[in-house]
Amino acid sequence: MVPVKHIGENINSSDESLLKAYQASGDQSHLATLYMRYTDLVFGVCLKYLKEREDAKDAVMSIYQELINKLRTHTVDTFKSWLYVVARNYCLMQLRKNKKAVIVEFQPEFMQSEDFSHLDDVLEKEKEFQRLNKCIAALNDEQKNIIQLFYLEGKCYNEIVEITSLDWNRIRSLVQNGRRNLKICMDKHE
């Protein structure tokens, strides 16, 4: 713990003199005084990048810990500018770390198991598709043609009018009647 009176002695010192004093002695009271001048700047940078207040507060503390070692080896001309870059780089590194650690919600339906019940759904849909094909084949030719154009090929009424030269109201009637007949047929063969 740094004695308070020792920190107070440094308050009026310039950034450069505090930095040189820390680098020469390793006394963290010089670094603490210097860093306290810019904690608002560091917090603002961290909040800008990390978006969460608690994450930004943690980053301010972590950046101070980094400075203890970095300032012993780095030559710094303008502390404030250099500190801004250090804070920004720290935040960017945190964001990169978080991107690498992708959290995926567990979804049991994607897990392979020895229980083949998931195949039952596939087989059921295949049977339903076969019933649908049989029911479409059972429609009269005009309804079958219109149902195939509308549902299977995705054509709209106007496109079907151009293809078949039938009246728009006739096509609408064939689609509605064909759909009703398909439902009756599917229910009957279920």
Dump pLDDT digits (tens) for 146-164.
Answer: 988 888 888 888 999 999 9
Contact indicator for 146, 160 with CB cutoff of 8 Å: yes
Question: Do 119-188 and 4-100 fall under one CATH topology?
Answer: no
Contact indicator for 158, 168 with CB cutoff of 8 Å: yes
Neighbours of 178 (CB within 10 A): 23
Q: Which CATH number fits domain 4-100: 3.30.980.20, 1.10.10.60, 3.40.50.300, 1.10.1740.10?
A: 1.10.1740.10
For the chain, the domains span 4-100, 119-188
For 47-96, give the DSSP string.
HHHH--HHHHHHHHHHHHHHHHHHHHH---S-HHHHHHHHHHHHHHHHHH
- Higher per-residue pLDDT: 4 or 115: 115
Q: What is the pLDDT of residues 7-45, one digit of tens each?
A: 445 667 888 999 899 989 989 999 999 999 999 999 999
* Model pLDDT, residue 103: 56
Alpha-carbon distance 60 to 108, whole Å?
A: 40
Structurally, at CATH architecture level, domain 119-188 sits in: Orthogonal Bundle (1.10)
* Model pLDDT, residue 177: 92
* pLDDT beyond 70 at 47: yes
* Model pLDDT, residue 5: 40
Alpha-carbon distance 67 to 73, whole Å?
A: 10
pTM flag (> 0.85): no
Contact indicator for 120, 88 with CB cutoff of 8 Å: no
Contact indicator for 30, 22 with CB cutoff of 8 Å: yes
What DSSP state is assigned to residue 109? Answer: G
CA angle 92, 66, 41 (to 5 degrees): 60
Range with the poorest average pLDDT among 33-47, 48-62, 121-135, 146-160: 121-135
Angle between helical axes of 39-50 and 53-73 (0-180°, round to 10) = 120
